[in-house]
Chain A
Amino acid sequence: MSRRGFVIAGSAGLAGVGAWEWLVTRGEEGGLPWPLRRVLEFNERLATGGFRASRFSPEFPRARARMPRVNGQIGLDPSIDLDVWRVRVVGAADHQAASLITLAEVKALPRVEMTTELRCIEGWSTVVAWAGARLADLAAKTGLANRSGRPTDPRNSPMDLLRYASLETPDGKYYIGLDMASALHPQTLVCYEMDGRPLTPEHGAPLRLVIPVKYGIKSLKQIGTIRFTDVRPADYWAERGYDWYAGH
């Protein structure tokens, strides 16, 4: 009985080792064995299903705010010409519409101030005071978040909404992808001030994204282009083994 029991146990153990070997030798997708990618996508579907725009990242008293460490310089141009800079907003492929928005135009949108936690995927977090405009307001102004291209507020026409937003730096070297629900979340800002002062180059001057419902990797610094699309956009860190959704 003892022998039989250990043979069964040993076989189960070998099967487990075999399953492990199988898993780690699968072809890679975005730097991960594809079965792990499938699980991350499953987790994403659960998260997307459970996502509620009414849930906010906790906000803190202004006095708690600090400047976060400078982390991640990919795509940053420290000597960017702020007079020439525009943010290019692009709509769905069949419209090919694009708008060039100046910083002044962004500042003319309703100003939002919030003090929220920046949660880096590395594991550290800092409470930061941000000021900017809602990405949803910018999308409404351009009308480019809708499939029809009609300049309607995307928040009021959910069926017409494109599925994704993507942002990239002016040089195209850093880029992130967002699901539209997170992009249009009330706390997702195109931000031009941190700690009450205009952005410095190392923090993404003149305009950066801050999106507290995601890990910090999605808070792209130095916005060059904002694109709304039905095609799931590429994401720099998702190509390097990280979860594409990265949502909190």
Chain B
Amino acid sequence: MIMPRLERKHSLATRLFHWVNAPVLAVMIWSGVLIYWANDVYAIRVGGVTLFKFFPDWFYRLFPVDHRLAEGMAWHFTFMWFFAINGVLYVAYTAWSGEWRELVPNRHTFAEAWQVVLHDLGIRKQPLPRRKFNGAQRLAYTGVVGMGAGSLLTGLAIYKPVQLAWLTGILGGYELARAEHFALACGYVVFFVIHIVQVTRAGWNNFRAMVIGVEVARDEDATYERSRIKRSGLAVGARRAVGGSAIGCTAAGGCTSFGAAATGAATTRRAATAGTVTTDAATGGASGLG
């Protein structure tokens, strides 16, 4: 068996921003529900029929959210600082570090994302090109950051509708801005469900990389493209045509079968060598798992 190679995947900054955001966003959503309860008027209605009320009685029986408006506002207006600062710093870092090239959609992204969906549903049988973030991921991970900015703006609009009356006005007025703020919060919940499913499917090696920053690469043939990352040290992975194949196993992490577990990456194989590869960033993103 060829010795497994560790491949650096997520920078320390990325991991910190990610793991700060997770509990902070959870607090924002929870405290937001405490606030929403006080005027819980939203529902999905088609014609005159209410399809789903936010929230049904069983939700309120399950979660103790009633009569906690003051508490909700206090937590919300405290943690908003952590959410906003963490988010702004993350966006600034993504731009400065060059990692945005792997995250921001390019002209191939929509077509690729469609292929990812077909693949994940089992309709597309061919393997997907191996990248750090596939088209669907680029859309998701850029989109959710856009949603974060939207929550910040709609939040400010309903927090200071007089001092920031111009902002509230652009967003359609106080009532509409509140509804937009709520819709975005629902969006995070949808994102989270899909995210957890995909991370689970992608397997331990992939998840671990978001904690410790490195992933076990396997000695296999075939090539894949990775975008050049501006600051050295962050670009890892390699390209070399190598014969033969093996499944990489480590004592710590066990064995991963990339094929079945990977998000949008089918049974592809990676070469393992030292050194970095630089490729024209316009032609494709870097390979990787969910």
Contact = CB atoms under 8 A, between A and B. Distances in A.
Nearest to B80: A43
A173 interface: no
B163 A50 contact: yes
B19 to A, nearest CB: 7
A243 interface: yes
A187 to B, nearest CB: 9
Contact of A123 (B38, B78, B253): B38
Nearest to A241: B70
Contacts of B178: 123
Given A3-B252, A57-B165, A123 B36 contact: yes
B212 A55 contact: no
B73 interface: yes
Interface residues on A, range: 35 or more
Contacts of B69: 121-122
Interface string B149-187: 000000000001111010011000111001000000000
Contacts of A125: 174-175
Given A39-B77, A240-B70, A243-B73, A55 B6 contact: no
A6 interface: yes
Contacts of B19: 9, 12
Contacts of B208: 2, 5
A35 B78 CA distance: 9
A37 to B, nearest CB: 8
A6 B36 contact: no
A40 interface: yes
B190 interface: no
Interface string A40-51: 100100010011
Given A32-B71, A125-B175, A240-B70, A119 B161 contact: yes
B176 to A, nearest CB: 11
Given A16-B23, A57-B162, A58-B169, A241 B71 contact: yes
B70 A242 contact: yes
B213 A5 contact: yes
B211 A6 contact: yes
B74 interface: yes
Contacts of A50: 163
Contact of B212 (A5, A32, A243, A248): A5
A97 to B, nearest CB: 32
Contacts of B174: 117, 119, 125
B161 A248 contact: yes
Contacts of A3: 252
